[in-house]
Structure 1
Amino acid sequence: MSALAYATPRTGSHPTLTVDLGAVADNTALLVGRAAGEVMAVVKADGFGHGMVDVARTALAAGATRLGVTSLEEAGRLRAAGLRAPVLSWLNPVDADWAAVLELGVDVAVPGREHLDAVVRAAPGARVHLQVDTGMARDGAEPSRWADLCRAARAAERRGLLRVVGVMGHLACADQPAHPANVAGRDRFTWAVTTAGAAGLRPVDRHLAATAATLLDPRSHHTMSRVGAGLVGIDPSGTTALRSPLTLTAPLVDVRDVPAGCPVGYGHTWRAPVATRLGLLPLGYADGLPRAASGRAEVLVRGRRRPVVGRISMDMAVVDLGADGTGAGEVVTVLGPGNDGEPTVREWAAWSGTIEHEVVTGLGARLLRTVCPAGPRGL
């Protein structure tokens, strides 16, 4: 047997991340049913860690009509995979390779005059979505500069140098429906669209809502919603039952019996209160288990929750197995949909003091990945 064969990991003998595309298909269908207009499937950050191309194909088959990414590089990956659906890229530096816009046949967001001028110079005829800041002081043109951007875009449009096909914004507090920032954001977006029209622009695409607003705020839907987190089972508002596609399992690579008082891991932050059996998982923060979850996290072993004890280190985590006789090689469920009592992504986020988005996008490249197809609807 070759050295390569020896080095190839096998499911069950290696930490394994399983992606259920059926869950992505179901989530997409639910969100499509809630949206007033089209749904753009946002597959940035490698499809929120679930696999960009797989999530994109599944979402399109389940009712999404377009794809959204941040960079032109991500857009290029979609095109290289053979996906021909409309794509929007909205976070590029001024000196991006704008010529690629025409080569790839994708739309780009323009947040200000510098970007507008750069696109006109390098990609004449490009399709652009003007981006307005609706109250986050982050991406998009400031209100004081919006009218000037619209006038400049219209001048370029009249010369045939670009086509303004969209206006886009983003809500800061959509996961809190009653927050006054949502009213202000919706009002500013309406003003931005009106101002664009007064400049002579006729954008057919107008999009403000992301996942939470798609689920909770029909007033923000306009002609299209951009949905990313919801595709992979994350509802920032916590109000809607979406399916989580991920299951992370790992084998115990070692077990040992220790006496009461035995310290565990760096800093000896935990000591066994009674004699117990400890199991070693070959997973750590280099694989995406947040170190901040140390002392709070749990895993599922033989149908029972067991605590992760001591500090989660770069490559390892220790589990208190109690006295049930669990041995090396036993496969442990670290996280999953929660159907069998295993911890969920939401729980790991809570244990870590963060959001689910950070947990799923942090799951590392060392994990063996397997994909379960969505069936006929998701092919």
Structure 2
Amino acid sequence: MRARAEIDLGALRANVRALRARAPRAQLMAVVKADAYGHGMLPCARAALAAGADWLGTATPQEALALRAAGIRARLLCWLWTPGGPWREAIEADIDVSVGGMWALDEVLDAARAGGRTARIQLKADTGLGRGGCQPADWPELVGAAVAAEAEGLADVTGIWSHFACADEPGHPSIAAQQARFDEAIAYAEKAGLSPEVRHIANSPAVLTLPEAQYDLIRPGVALYGISPVPQLGSAADFGLRPVMTLSARLGLVKHVPAGHGVSYGHHYVTPTETTLGLVPLGYADGVPRHASGKGPVLVGGRLRRVAGRVAMDQFVVDLEGDELLPGAEAVLFGPGDRGEPTAEDWAGAADTIAYEIVTRIGPRVDRVYVNEEPDDQQPDDQQSDDR
């Protein structure tokens, strides 16, 4: 195998349980968008449900519909909609859909009428992030229309939700301001006659640092996969989490070169002495960030090395410093870090980005290999939708 991303489903299940323990009175939504942050949506969704997740969350309707097509019947929220989206298909698949404006409510209600089904909707309030969601000035109109839709039998408002902008910066003044606006949005909706099943705003950093923001449901994403959303406060291990992905490859070539030999495009690395080079068959087409050229850490032959020169599309080189290794030797780019290997956070530092991006960008040419599976991870129908 050229390269592999080993996905430890046992670690994922343990992370679900650890996060649930932080909010014992709240339901847990496992966010599996973006192919479960690069880990594989279907296996991770099933493992999370087997570990006790109550809901799944996706960004796109295509992701949500793929879960249903695979036989997964758990409660499911999908939030990234554009005009003309597959509203009717989502309604028929018992998917809760997010509504953050009148255009979206109009479209989902048209789909409900056309299909003769009640739509399950969750109203999203923009409390300060400035992305999706309804602005406070427009909230009364949206709530009023949702109340009317419930009275007509076209919609069931199952939730009210929002998203923090700076929860990964504990103490940021926007956090308290957003929570106050969220409370105001909930109070207005409930006074208008809505009775949402779940109210939620807590993403991964909020789950770990803001117990007052748990409400009825927590919505962890990257923390499920064992990555700390607040590395300035603690590592994954400090929060009782374990990284789920280990990325490795086999050296495709080992060769001796003289001192002064240029390496990779632009010769940004020149061997200082006679040495041995190892070719790692992963590149930016596989998600290895080019910005980590000359800096990305790799464990090879029991020693920590750095990318020598530029990361290319399909490969990069490490200077083995004369060590006599053979083609096929393992090169570990990142993992939990407890065997001397780098972590996704180390690569994020090398590429001046966040660990979320490091794992999510690992591409389809890298085989996912699932370990520590349990029988329940394989059951597509073990979680049934709560048909209301």
What range describes the TM-score normalised by the shorter chain of this pair? Answer: over 0.9
**C-alpha separation in 1, matches of 2:273 and 2:83:** 61
Structure 1-normalised TM-score? 0.94
**CA displacement at 1:376 relative to structure 2:** 5.8
Which of 14, 18, 30 is 2:6 aligned to?
A: 18
Partner of 2:263: 264
**C-alpha separation in 2, matches of 1:222 and 1:181:** 18
1:191 alignment partner, SS class: helix
**CA displacement at 1:83 relative to structure 2:** 0.8
**CA displacement at 1:368 relative to structure 2:** 2.1
Which of 200, 204, 207 is 1:211 aligned to?
A: 204
Preserved contact between residue 247 and residue 332 of structure 2 (Cα < 8 Å): yes
Preserved contact between residue 46 and residue 376 of structure 2 (Cα < 8 Å): no
**CA displacement at 1:327 relative to structure 2:** 2.1
Match runs of 1:75-114 below 5 Å: 75-114=64-103
Any stretches of 5+ residues in structure 2 without a counterpart?
Answer: 379-388
**C-alpha separation in 2, matches of 1:241 and 1:105:** 34
1:236 aligns with 2:264: no
Match runs of 1:261-340 below 5 Å: 261-340=260-339
Which amino acid letter does the alignment assign opposite residue 50 of structure 1?
A: H
Which amino acid letter does the alignment assign opposite residue 249 of structure 1?
A: S
**CA displacement at 1:102 relative to structure 2:** 2.3
**CA displacement at 1:226 relative to structure 2:** 0.8
Cα deviation 1:28-87 (Å, max 9, x = unaligned): 100000124000011001111111111111111112111111122111111111111110
**CA displacement at 1:218 relative to structure 2:** 1.1
2:53 alignment partner, SS class: coil
Cα deviation 1:287-331 (Å, max 9, x = unaligned): 110000001112111211112100000011000001221122212
Which amino acid letter does the alignment assign opposite residue 272 of structure 1?
A: T
Partner of 1:146: 139
**C-alpha separation in 2, matches of 1:90 and 1:307:** 40
**CA displacement at 1:241 relative to structure 2:** 4.1
**CA displacement at 1:204 relative to structure 2:** 1.7
Match runs of 1:40-51 below 5 Å: 40-51=29-40
Which amino acid letter does the alignment assign opposite residue 281 of structure 1?
A: V
2:320 alignment partner, SS class: strand
**C-alpha separation in 1, matches of 2:330 and 2:268:** 26
**CA displacement at 1:373 relative to structure 2:** 3.1
**Identity, % of aligned pairs?**
46
Partner of 1:122: 111
Partner of 1:186: 179
**CA displacement at 1:179 relative to structure 2:** 0.8
Match runs of 1:156-195 below 5 Å: 156-195=149-188
Which amino acid letter does the alignment assign opposite residue 116 of structure 1?
A: L
What CA RMSD, in Å, does the superposition of the two structures yield over aligned residues? Answer: 1.2
Partner of 1:38: 27
**CA displacement at 1:171 relative to structure 2:** 0.7
**C-alpha separation in 2, matches of 1:150 and 1:368:** 46
**CA displacement at 1:202 relative to structure 2:** 1.2
Which amino acid letter does the alignment assign opposite residue 266 of structure 1?
A: Y
Partner of 2:386: none
**C-alpha separation in 2, matches of 1:306 and 1:97:** 48
1:322 alignment partner, SS class: coil
Cα distance change of structure 1 residues 373 and 123 upon mapping to structure 2, 3 Å threshold:
farther
**C-alpha separation in 2, matches of 1:298 and 1:109:** 40
1:370 alignment partner, SS class: strand
Preserved contact between residue 251 and residue 328 of structure 2 (Cα < 8 Å): yes
Cα deviation 1:136-183 (Å, max 9, x = unaligned): 111100111011110111111111111111100001111122111100
2:219 alignment partner, SS class: strand
Match runs of 1:48-59 below 5 Å: 48-59=37-48
1:224 aligns with 2:223: no
Cα deviation 1:330-371 (Å, max 9, x = unaligned): 121121111110111111111111111111111011112211
Structure 2-normalised TM-score? 0.92
Match runs of 1:343-358 below 5 Å: 343-358=342-357
Preserved contact between residue 22 and residue 378 of structure 1 (Cα < 8 Å): no
**CA displacement at 1:198 relative to structure 2:** 2.1
**CA displacement at 1:286 relative to structure 2:** 0.3
Preserved contact between residue 41 and residue 68 of structure 1 (Cα < 8 Å): yes
**CA displacement at 1:375 relative to structure 2:** 3.4
1:69 aligns with 2:58: yes
**C-alpha separation in 2, matches of 1:214 and 1:332:** 34
**C-alpha separation in 1, matches of 2:244 and 2:365:** 19
Preserved contact between residue 15 and residue 240 of structure 2 (Cα < 8 Å): no
2:313 alignment partner, SS class: coil
1:133 alignment partner, SS class: coil
